Amino acid sequence: MAQRGLDRREEETEEPSNSRLSDMALRGQERRAEETEEQRNRRLAVMGQRSQQRRAEETEEQRNSRLAVMTQRGQERRAEETDEQRNSRLAVMAQCGQMRRAEETEEQRNSRLSAMLQHARERRLNVIEGQNHHQIQTFYAARTVLN
């Protein structure tokens, strides 16, 4: 029975395939529109578990590929968004950050601020190292010219 369906799908042209997939998508939308909050939560929990299982089994190469695809899609989405959409996205991000900070404990706040401080120190060190590297290159270039 299942093999017959596979054979039929292999033989169908692109147009019937698109029509069949469109019908399936509509049925899925209708089913989701009718589900209760509990059913929705259960469906999303199962989806999350399956995703975690898939990620746990993937190789580093597969993980890197998945993350590269996600990054590419995000960049394409942001490249196509209007100023209004961008402002809306940034406003939502800012509000989420404010809510997260409002709910954090004193310990979480201290940890967050400590991480920010450490990050700033590392950035300054990288800038200084870059400047030193540039000065060393300039020195050797000047010495080479003088010799």
pLDDT averaged per 10 residues, the chain (length 147):
67 74 90 92 95 95 96 95 96 96 96 96 90 85 77
> Would you state the structure tokens that stand for residue 66, as one six-digit string?
């998945």
| pTM beyond 0.75, yes or no | no
Is residue 132 in a domain? yes
**Cα separation, 91 vs 94, whole angstroms:** 5
**Cα separation, 118 vs 126, whole angstroms:** 12
Summarize pLDDT for 58-82 with one digit per residue, the tens.
999 999 999 999 999 999 999 999 9
Give me the number of domains the chain comprises.
1
Q: Which residues contact 9 (CB under 8 A, 6 or more apart)?
A: 17, 20
Is residue 86 in a domain? no
**Cα separation, 66 vs 54, whole angstroms:** 11
Is residue 76 in a domain? no
Is residue 140 in a domain? yes
Summarize pLDDT for 40-51 with one digit per residue, the tens.
999 999 999 999
Alpha-helical runs (H) found in 35-105: 37-57, 60-80, 83-103
Is residue 10 in a domain? no
Is residue 83 in a domain? no
Q: Please answer whether residues 104 and 112 qualify as being in contact, where contact means their C-beta atoms are separated by less than 8 angstroms.
A: yes
**Cα separation, 82 vs 86, whole angstroms:** 6
Supply the range of the domain harboring residue 116. Answer: 111-146
What percent of the chain is modeled with pLDDT above 70?
91
Is residue 136 in a domain? yes
What percent of the chain is modeled with pLDDT above 90?
64
